[in-house]
Amino acid sequence: MKRRKLFLVAAILGLLAATLTYTYIRSIQRVETHEVKEAGVVVATGDIPSGTSVSSNMVRLVKVPETALHPEAASSPGEVIGRITKAPIVSGEQVLRNRLLPAGVRPSLSFAIPSGKRAVSVAVNEVVGVAGFVKPGDRVDILATVDGSNREDTITSTVLQDVEVLAIAQDMEEEVDKKPKVTTTVTLAVTLAEAQKVTLAEETGVLRLVLRPVTAANREWVNPTTSGELAKAAAPQTVAKPVVKAAAPPKKAPQPAKPPKDHQVEIIRGTERELISVKSN
């Protein structure tokens, strides 16, 4: 009797477990699958620096879920090709329309200034500007000629070395086969401290740009040149005449010693006198 009850209870529990398992499996199969909608977006194929004109090989069109699409993302390459970036774009990033300049607009000078630098313009003429041979992208040294502390001496010293030229007048790019052109201003990339030096030198003296060769990479220390030193260098050099010593007069041959003279000694004896010759030693 007990065995039958146990068998019946086991059968009921087994049936209940099978029913629960079947119900769970059916509930999984009934889960509705939601379709993910995708949209086309333009992404960068590599890093694009700021101030770069976007070309066709810099971007590509990919599909992304609509939930991952940025509101400002470009949906076709034609929207971005030929436009210039206002900020850097990293590889794989969606190209946003608000990070590009409007079509046909060139970037301002602020996009060409290196990080940590400032742009300062100095007045130049044909002499100061190296006869118009200085171009954007060249590197120059800056010399300044100012009055000395005593107001009587003029000093020329090197203010800055290896300074990048950002623009000539309002030209920021070097044109191919362009003839040298004399302009009135040159814009340089300097630090804030260097900008102070250049401004003070321009206000108190005369500046001169010295064009550096492409191979010049090192900076060198040069002592300032004063007008006094320049005058000494330009003065005619006097050649010292060799000192000729007068010849010593020839020594006279020693003359033979003269024999000593005899001395006469007078001897008086009473009323008689007598002379005696005595030889000297």
Domain co-membership, 168 together with 140 = yes
Query: Is the residue at 143 inside a domain?
Result: yes
Q: What is the count of structural domains for the chain?
A: 2
Domain co-membership, 95 together with 116 = no
Picking from 99, 131, 150, the residue at the C-terminal end of a domain is 99
Residue-level pLDDT at 196: 93
Give the domain CATH number at 88. 3.90.1210.10
The Cα 195–Cα 117 span in angstroms is: 9
Q: How far is CA 113 from CA 122, 179, 186, 210, in A?
A: 16, 25, 14, 21
pTM: 0.50
Q: How far is CA 209 from CA 77, 137, 252, in A?
A: 45, 14, 76
Residue-level pLDDT at 194: 92
The Cα 190–Cα 187 span in angstroms is: 10
Residue by residue, what is the 3-state secondary structure of 25-84?
A: HHHHHCCCCCCCCEEEEEEECCCECCCCECCHHHEEEEEEEHHHCCCCECCCHHHCCCCE
* Long-range pairs of 25-29 with CB within 8 A, sequence gap ≥ 24: none
The Cα 111–Cα 171 span in angstroms is: 14
Query: Is the residue at 214 inside a domain?
Result: yes
Residue-level pLDDT at 96: 92
Domain co-membership, 224 together with 195 = yes
Picking from 80, 99, 118, the residue at the C-terminal end of a domain is 99
Domain co-membership, 122 together with 221 = yes
Picking from 58, 76, 99, the residue at the C-terminal end of a domain is 99
Query: Is the residue at 217 inside a domain?
Result: yes
Domain co-membership, 65 together with 154 = no
Domain co-membership, 205 together with 119 = yes
Domain co-membership, 44 together with 87 = yes
Domain co-membership, 92 together with 54 = yes
The Cα 245–Cα 58 span in angstroms is: 89
Domain co-membership, 135 together with 206 = yes
Domain co-membership, 82 together with 173 = no
Domain co-membership, 81 together with 160 = no
Query: Is the residue at 186 inside a domain?
Result: yes
Residue-level pLDDT at 221: 82
Residue-level pLDDT at 17: 79
The Cα 188–Cα 62 span in angstroms is: 42
Domain containing 67: what range?
39-99
Query: Is the residue at 137 inside a domain?
Result: yes
Query: Is the residue at 173 inside a domain?
Result: yes
How many residues appear in the chain? 281
Give me the tens of pLDDT residue by residue for the chain, a chain 281 residues long: 666 777 676 777 777 777 878 777 777 665 555 677 888 999 999 999 888 889 999 999 999 888 888 999 999 999 999 888 888 899 999 999 888 888 877 767 777 788 888 998 888 765 555 656 788 888 899 999 888 777 667 888 889 999 998 888 765 555 545 555 566 788 899 999 999 999 998 888 888 888 888 877 777 888 888 877 777 776 666 555 666 565 666 666 666 656 566 666 677 666 666 777 766 55
Domain co-membership, 196 together with 81 = no
Q: Retrieve residue 206's tokens.
A: 């005369």
Query: Is the residue at 89 inside a domain?
Result: yes
Query: Is the residue at 157 inside a domain?
Result: yes
